[in-house]
Chain A
């Protein structure tokens, strides 16, 4: 069964450092997303990406965050200068059709646990 894969599974970084979280979405999917989940809290939408540009972003997704699809398979989330409060589980997701506008199934990866120290 096709799946979304994320690397690394766990990343520890020092405050102020840049981190890049990587995702390989399902190959024929067109819509890509990042979510985060702070320990013990809700899953929160960060950003959606379609046709090589950001489709929508939440208030959380400020100038410190950026996304990129550098080639035909990878989808990355970059945090420019990490803060302690960026510590969370980050989930990548992909769907064949857009979430929220058309009923569609989103496939989530297993997540990257980011710890900022």
Chain B
């Protein structure tokens, strides 16, 4: 699977938007961009995924650059419950079954 690069940590204030970046310069045409998060002492949780177009769901939005070499997960109004490690993961059509988790971004939310 192609590699992703994320900042180790980010800090934001409660009720403000959060933009979590992810670089994936070696992404191939069939790679999907997935985001998962892991709250403290819990299993990973699916957030959102996309291929080329921007995506919105009840949890977040995913903005994908036109060249697909980067993407941004947007939390529109962060709450304390959004404090977690966020993982940007690429999955390829011809790749392995398992998700390859990196170190992710540790998001800290200040009240």
Contact = CB atoms under 8 A, between A and B. Distances in A.
A in complex with B:
yes
Interface of A: 4, 31, 33, 35, 42-48, 55-56, 58, 91, 93, 98-103, 105-111
Contacts of B96: 45, 56, 100
B95 A91 contact: no
B97 A48 contact: yes
B97 A55 contact: yes
Q: Kindly list the 8 A-B residue pairs having the minimum CB-CB distance in the complex, ordered from nearest.
A: A45-B98, A108-B43, A48-B97, A43-B101, A56-B97, A103-B32, A105-B46, A100-B91
B97 A43 contact: no
Contacts, number: 74
Given A35-B98, A42-B101, A100 B44 contact: no
A96 to B, nearest CB: 12
Interface residues on B, range: 20 to 34
Given A45-B101, A100-B95, 11 more contacts: A35-B99, A42-B103, A45-B98, A46-B98, A56-B97, A58-B98, A100-B92, A103-B49, A108-B45, A110-B42, A111-B42
Contacts of A105: 46, 49
Which secondary structure dominates where chain B touches chain A?
loop
From B45, B46, B99, residue with most partner A Cβ within 10 Å: B99
A105 B37 CA distance: 12
Contacts of A111: 42-43
Contacts of A91: 43-44
B100 interface: yes
Interface of B: 1, 32, 34, 36, 38, 42-46, 49, 51, 87, 91-103
A70 to B, nearest CB: 21
Contacts of B99: 35, 43, 45, 99-100, 106
B47 to A, nearest CB: 10
Nearest to B90: A100
A10 to B, nearest CB: 11
